[in-house]
Amino acid sequence: MIKLAPSILSADFANLGNDIKRIDQAGCDWIHVDIMDGMFVPNISFGMPVTKAARAYTKKYFDVHLMIQEPIRYVKEFKAVGADMLTVHVEACEDVQATIDAIHAEGMDAGLACNPETPVEDIVPFIDKVEMILIMTVHPGFGGQSYIDECTEKIEIVNAIVHEYNLKTLIEVDGGIKVDNVCIPLDAGANVIVAGSAVFGGNVKENVKNFKEQFQNFED
């Protein structure tokens, strides 16, 4: 089943609890939580306290995306505030496997992300070591960017490896995704879709419904 993971970075932070309830009730599958440290990416979003507060408003799977340098330092803390999965960047980890192992040791699922300019070869050795690969389809840390078409080939390559070795690894895409272009990553093999303003902008229930209708065209 293809999953929709709205990014709460696009929510109204003055009404975060209500916005999380809205996407929960609208039928989203996961909640995508973007953590930025101002070092790995230029912007700062929020950290453990907001994640903990958000967790209280839903029982949905918490997909926490750490855009932070050396995320191994904070694995235990994010487990404590309710993360179900921690996704770290291959570019941000001195020891990728040790970071994955630390996440698994805390009983969480592990994801591995790569930026648009990062060769897909950098993540290939870890595809069978994690529960999910995240292909960034915009440059992380900035909102309002357009989907980078060149990233589609990365999705196809990861998808081919997943199928060749009969893996259960999920493929998530994040960046510039809207209802009218979501078919591109889906056709390439993505099965977890992160969307921000395309979900939170306007009628949330209608937006979720529109995404789900697109998903049906790609589900077995």
For 19-38, the DSSP string reads HHHHHHHHT-SEEEEEEEBS
- Complete edge-to-edge strand list for the sheet that includes strand 61-67: 3-6, 192-195, 170-174, 132-136, 109-114, 85-89, 61-67, 30-36
For residue 146, say whether it is annotated as part of any ligand binding site.
no
Please tell me the predicted confidence (pLDDT) of residue 219. 87
Q: How far apart are CA 189 and CA 187, in angstroms?
A: 5
Residuewise pLDDT in 10s, the chain (220 residues): 999 999 999 999 999 999 999 999 999 999 999 999 999 999 999 999 999 999 999 999 999 999 999 999 999 999 999 999 999 999 999 999 999 999 999 999 999 999 999 999 999 999 999 999 999 999 997 767 899 999 999 999 999 999 999 999 999 999 999 999 999 999 999 999 999 999 999 999 999 999 999 999 998 6
Q: How far is CA 89 from CA 25, 35, 52, 94, 124, in A?
A: 31, 12, 22, 10, 13
For residue 12, say whether it is annotated as part of any ligand binding site.
no
Q: Which domains occur in the chain, in start order?
A: 3-216 (3.20.20.70)
Please tell me the predicted confidence (pLDDT) of residue 144. 72
For residue 180, say whether it is annotated as part of any ligand binding site.
no
Please tell me the predicted confidence (pLDDT) of residue 38. 93
Task: List, in sequence order, every residue forming a beta bridge with 173; answer none if it has no partner.
Answer: 135, 193
Please tell me the predicted confidence (pLDDT) of residue 179. 98
Please tell me the predicted confidence (pLDDT) of residue 141. 78
117 alpha-carbon distance from chain centroid: 18
Helix (H) or strand (E) holding 109: strand 109-114
Q: Are 62 and 48 in contact (CB under 8 A)?
A: no
Please tell me the predicted confidence (pLDDT) of residue 142. 73
Token pair 């070795």 is found at: 165
Helix (H) or strand (E) holding 188: helix 183-188
Q: How far apart are CA 105 and CA 99, in angstroms?
A: 10
For residue 45, say whether it is annotated as part of any ligand binding site.
no
For residue 27, say whether it is annotated as part of any ligand binding site.
no
Q: Which residues are catalytic?
A: 34, 174
For residue 189, say whether it is annotated as part of any ligand binding site.
no
pTM over 0.85: yes
Q: How far apart are CA 207 and CA 200, in angstroms?
A: 8
